[in-house]
Amino acid sequence: MVNQSSGGPPFCALCGSLLSIPTHDKTASCPTCLHLTPAKEFEDAINITQSRPGFFEKHRVGHASRRAAAAELAAAELGKGATVREICPKCGHDEMSFRTMQLRSADEGATIFYTCTKCSYTYKLNN
């Protein structure tokens, strides 16, 4: 990816964060370190950004892939959660570990994964 600019840097001189070019203020405030850059440095600024074909495609992960990756991670970490007094439906043991993960959209409840600390039986509960 190539970034060319003339007429003033669009990046903070201290931390390198991308700056928003001010419209009415006399300074641009860095969103990361709050360093102030005089607005006159942006006068007549021309910024051109180019990327090679397919650059963004390799960074894109589909919804189904994210869900599968989250489920795989949850399965790998099932036995590492906190423990609660919960009866195992398989062996009747009274202690299970649990973990929660947000596998569905943000406006829906988290998924709770329970694992029996005795027999390792697992199940999930969608709230």
12 is in an annotated binding site: yes
* The residue type at 44: D
91 is in an annotated binding site: yes
Determine whether 70 is exposed, middle or buried from the number of CB atoms within 10 Å of its CB (0-12, 13-18, 19+). middle
33 is in an annotated binding site: yes
pTM of the entire structure?
A: 0.38
pLDDT at 115 over 60: yes
88 is in an annotated binding site: yes
109 is in an annotated binding site: no
Per the model's pLDDT, the better-predicted residue between 119 and 13 turns out to be: 119
Range of 10-14, 22-26, 64-68, 97-101 with top mean pLDDT: 97-101
Pick the CATH number of 62-126 from 2.20.25.10, 3.40.50.80, 3.50.50.60, 3.90.70.10: 2.20.25.10
Domain residue ranges of the chain, discontinuous segments joined by +: 2-57, 62-126
**Cα(8)–Cα(40) distance, integer angstroms:** 8
The tens digit of pLDDT for each residue in 10-48 reads: 778 787 788 776 667 788 888 888 888 887 877 777 767
116 is in an annotated binding site: yes
